[in-house]
């Protein structure tokens, strides 16, 4: 169960995490060790066991279809990194 540096960088890309070159090997080694240990989960027989997503299996609450939020844009955007005329700005995306 070994993660190469290339694998690690691929996962980092998926997760949008910049990993510096000098750190990539370290992360790869750490993750390899961690995953190697965790891989022992593969040794337990789980045939016909239904995965448990919620510890308490109940019905979730629903809400009525009414407008219940008054949006205070200024309050919600206070402290936003880059806002202009009510828009959030990011570097130009080319589609």
Partner 1 sequence: MTHPDYPQTLAAQSVALAEGQFSSVELTQHYLERINRLDGQFNSFITVCPDFAIAQAAEADRRRAAGENGALLGIPYANKDIFCTKGIKTTCASRMLADWQAPYDATVVERLHAAGMVMLGKTNMDEFAMGSSNETSWFGPARNPWDTNRVPGGSSGGSAAAVAARLAPVATGTDTGGSIRQPAALCGVTGLKPTYGRVSRWGMIAFASSLDQGGPMGLTAEDVALMLNAMTGADRRDATSIERAPENFMADLGKPLTGLKVGVPTEFMDAGLSPAIRACVDVTASTLKQLGASIKEVSLPNAGVAVPAYYVVASAEASSNLSRYDGVRFGHRCENPVDLADLYSRSRGEGFGNEVKRRILVGTYVLSAGYYDAWYRKAQQLRRLIQQDYVAAFNDVDVLLGPTTPNTAFALGENIADPLTMYLSDIYTTGVNLAGLPGLSMPGGFVDGLPVGLQLIGNYFDERRVLQVAHQFQQHTDWHSRMPVAAE
Partner 2 sequence: MHWETVIGLEIHVQLAAESKIFSGAPTRYGAEQNTQACAVDLGLPGVLPVLNARVVDMAITLGLALGAKIAPASIFARKNYFYPDLPKGYQISQYEQPIVSDGRIEISLPSGETKTIGITRAHLEEDAGKSVHDAFPGYTAIDLNRAGTPLLEVVTEPDMRSPAEAVAYMRAMHALVRYLGICDGNMQEGSFRCDANVSVRPMGSDTFGTRAEIKNINSFRFVERAIEYEVERQIDLIEAGGKVVQETRLYDADKHETRSMRSKEDAHDYRYFPDPDLLPVVVTQSRIDAIKSTLPELPWTRRERYVADFGLELDEARTLAADRPLAEYFEALARTSGDPRQSANWLNGELAANLNRHGVGIESCPVTVERLGKLITRITDGTLSGNLAKQLFEALWNLEGEVDELIDQRGLRQLNDSEAVRALIAQVIEESPTQVAQYRSGKDKVFGYFVGQVMKRSQGKANPQQLNDLLREMLA
User: Which spans of this chain sit near partner 2 (rule: CB under 8 A)?
Assistant: 14, 16, 53-54, 57-69, 71, 73, 76-77, 84-95
Query: What are residue 81's phi and psi, to 5 degrees?
Result: -60, -40
Q: Based on C-alpha coordinates, what's the Rg of the chain?
A: 22
Nearer to partner 2, 47 or 64 (CB): 64
Residue 67 lies near partner 1 (rule: CB under 8 A): no
User: Which partner, partner 1, partner 2, none, binds residue 74 by CB below 5 to 8 Å per kind?
Assistant: none
Residue 70 lies near partner 1 (rule: CB under 8 A): no
Sign of CA dihedral 84, 89, 93, 95: negative
Q: Are the C-beta atoms of 10 and 31 separated by less than 8 Å?
A: no
Q: Is 71 exposed, middle or buried (0-12, 13-18, 19+ CB in 10 A)?
A: exposed
Residues that bind partner 1 (CB under 8 A): 3, 8, 11-20, 27, 30-31, 33-35, 37-42, 44, 46, 49-56, 58, 60-63, 72, 75-82, 88, 90-93
């Amino acid at each position: 169960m070994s993660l190469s540096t290339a694998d690690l960088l691929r996962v980092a890309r998926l997760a949008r995490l910049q990993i510096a070159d000098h750190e990539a090997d370290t992360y790869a080694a750490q993750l390899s060790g961690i995953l190697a240990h965790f891989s022992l989960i593969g040794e337990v027989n789980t045939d016909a066991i239904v995965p448990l997503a919620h510890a308490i299996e109940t019905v979730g609450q629903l809400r009525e279809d009414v407008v219940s939020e008054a949006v205070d844009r200024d309050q919600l955007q206070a402290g936003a990194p880059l806002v202009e005329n009510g828009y959030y700005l990011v570097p130009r995306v080319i589609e």
